Structure 1
Amino acid sequence: MHINNLPSHALLACVIALYSCTSPSDKAENPVEPVNIYNGDVKIDYKSYGNGEIAVLFVHGWCINQTYWDSQVDALKSDYQVITMDLPGFGQSGMNKEKWTIEGYGEDVNALIDQLKLSNVVLVGHSMGGNVILESAVKNRKVIALIGVDNFKDVGSELTPEVQEQVDAFMVMLQENFKEIAPAYAEGSLFHSSTDSLVKKRVMEDFASSNPESAIGSLKALLDYGVKEQTLLSQLEQPLYLINSNASPTSREGLDSLGVSYQVLDIDSTGHYPMIEKPEVFNELLKKVLDRIEVKSQTISQLPSKNDSYDIQITAT
């Protein structure tokens, strides 16, 4: 088991120490009038903006919601169809799932894609959302590319016994007092020294107000996902782009060993939330990636294989 898409797992000890001591965003404007979307009987709350040949669908990470993409919506909606969604258990989506699993979240994303009749979809997933969009992409040929945000940084790594002990202690503490431990984790592990105080406040408040059942259930699922993640990455046919904070390095070895077609774009001086910490810089990198992604009109049999090369030479500035 490893913590793949939650950063700085060694800092969990700091969270325990912190506990022992113990802003609203600008909303994106002018969404398209939504239709009701359900996966089974679970409502999926989403917003859609703009039009374009490519649909960019944003998936948030653990204990946050779709409003974290508002700056990206405003930057892209004049050129693309842009969709944001709340994963069930978070934001305004349904809380009535029987199980909180990465596989189930991938099905939720595909339900949204299919019911909105999207094509040429670029999936953007932050943190835990990276594994969610991976689940979606390997099962949905309407997806033409994936963009991870501060994730897939240590593919294939294993926890040391010491870190595993910290993780186990952390999970017990979450179950006992989620509303204090979750924001303490954010404060101790997820921010850069330069992260704005309003960003910190926003994230910590969202963590504290998250539903403990869905939050703990989805985190357990994420912690158990490492082997499945490697299997799906080895099957991935679409290109993968990573816009990652360089506060902690992205290891290329695991991705290389699986034959993934990928490109890493580093962003300086942010914590785990580059899309709200440095939205202008983040959006510039995001647009560079999207400019390189071409509309795919092939049938399933004509889609490129995972061993085909992709033009993904991008210089991050």
Structure 2
Amino acid sequence: MKNLRLPTLFALCTLWFACGNPQREDKDKNNNVRAHIENNALNIAYTDTGKGDTTLLFVHGWCINKSYWASQAKHFANKYRVVAIDLPGYGDSGKNRKQWDVKTFATDVNAAIDQLNLKNVVLVGHSMSGTIVLQAAINQPDKVIGLVGVDNFKGQGTLPTEAQKKDIAEAIGAMRKDFVKVASQWFNEGLFYKTTSKPIRERILNDVVHSDTAAAIGSMEQQAYDDVPALLKWKKKLYLINSDYQANDITWLVKNKIPYKLLIVPQVGHFPMVEAPDEFNKQMEVVLRDLK
């Protein structure tokens, strides 16, 4: 396969990225509430733990699922209500959809907020879900008190070049021919760090290769390249809990006077919440203290 310049592709792709009544409720092996809600006739799976007047709503990134927030649910449930959802197309949520763009995914997050009657919500979005939770926050500024990106928003304000757009299109085309091979290469070469443990690599790659390919490819293809308009609409501080295996360029945020706070989980890859959960939770505590 032709080299797809995956580090460049990764840097771009990580930045792309009607309500009903609650249904079917049960509990998982840890006695956490596990249920399904609906948006546009599609089931959305979620876990709901803890109690508090503030809710932490966690949204996973590309090709993974709500289970990646298990350490955060365990850590924060003694003080906060903690909800984690599976975006449609991923995990246990429904997959019968053709729209995988930011605005559609954002309505899924908004549906969770409304149907679960969540109060004082802090939205946390990993990877492609940074843009999703940003749009969801803009949709419901009265309900969202904080916005946290996890290993995303690393270089805003610059649109992709024609060459980079070509790379992305080429990668998507290759995924359509052999999703497992291309996606696995992308993760191995662009998303893991030398410190990423073998069990974590295997867990992530297993989830990737078993992803619904229509949802995965559609998510990448339909995500917007540019988050600038949405960032300019969000008037509150943007919190970033990022890894440092790639540069964190905040030049555009500074230039446009967008309030932000950058917190680093060092020496990990693209999945700090599972690679270094204790350090991630410590940085999340900093965010919550700052919000208060």
Shorter chain as denominator, the TM-score bin is: 0.7 to 0.9
Distance 1:153 1:242, change over 3 A: same
The 2-side partners of 1:80 and 1:161 are apart by: 45
Aligned to 1:268: 266
Alignment of 1:164-243 (within 5 A): 164-222=165-223, 224-226=224-226, 229-243=227-241
Q: 2:83 corresponds to which residue? A: 83
Instruction: Name the CA shift for 1:267/1:277 in 2 (closer, same or farther; >3 Å).
Output: same
> Can you list the C-alpha shifts for 1:263-303, whole angstroms capped at 9, x where unaligned?
00111101100011111111111112112223xxxxxxxxx
TM-score, with normalisation over the residues of structure 1?
Answer: 0.81
Scaled by the length of structure 2, the TM-score of the pair is: 0.88
Measure, in 2, the Cα distance between the counterparts of 1:264 and 1:54.
22
> Whole-Å Cα distance in 2 between the matches of residues 132 and 177 of structure 1?
27
Counterpart code for 2:76: L
Q: How high is the sequence identity, in percent, across the aligned residues? A: 36
Q: Is the 8 A contact 1:28 1:70 kept in 2?
A: no
Q: Distance in 1 between matches of 2:261 and 2:29?
A: 29
Counterpart in the other structure of 1:51: 51
Structure with the higher strand share, 1 or 2: 2
CA distance, structure 2, for counterparts of residue 268 and residue 30 of structure 1: 33
* 1:1-317 to 2 correspondences below 5 Å: 8-9=7-8, 29-32=30-33, 34=35, 36-140=36-140, 141-222=142-223, 224-226=224-226, 229-294=227-292
Q: Is the alpha carbon distance of 1:77 and 1:28 closer, same or farther for their aligned partners in structure 2, counting shifts above 3 Å? A: farther
Q: Determine helix, strand or coil for the equivalent of 2:159.
A: coil
Cα RMSD over matched residues? 1.8
**Structure 1, unaligned stretches of length 5 or more?**
1-6, 13-26, 295-317
Letter in 1 for 2:56: V
How many angstroms apart in 1 are the aligned matches of 2:56 and 2:102? 20
Deviations, residues 242-277 of structure 1 (Å, cap 9, x unaligned): 001111111112222333221001111011000111
In the alignment, the residues of structure 1 paired with residue 115 and residue 9 of structure 2 have an alpha-carbon distance, to the nearest angstrom, of 41
C-alpha separation between the residues in 1 aligned to 2:192 and 2:201?
7
Contact 2:34 2:46 survives alignment (8 Å): no
CA distance in 2, matches of 1:44, 1:258: 36
- Report runs of 4+ in structure 1 exceeding 4 Å deviation: none
Change in 2 beyond 3 A, CA 1:33/1:215: closer
Aligned partners of 2:194, 2:113: CA distance in 1, in Å?
A: 38
Q: Distance in 1 between matches of 2:163 and 2:147?
A: 33
Given that 1:234 and 1:259 are in contact with CA atoms closer than 8 Å, whether structure 2 keeps it comes out as no
| 3-state DSSP of counterpart to 1:289 | helix
In structure 2, C-alpha distance between the alignment counterparts of 1:50 and 1:11, rounded to whole Å? 35
Letter in 1 for 2:183: A
Contact 1:59 1:85 in 2 (8 A): yes
Which SS does the other structure have where 1:158 is aligned? coil
Please give the alpha-carbon distance, in whole angstroms, between the structure 1 residues aligned to 2:167 and 2:237.
Answer: 34
Q: Secondary structure at the match of 2:56?
A: strand
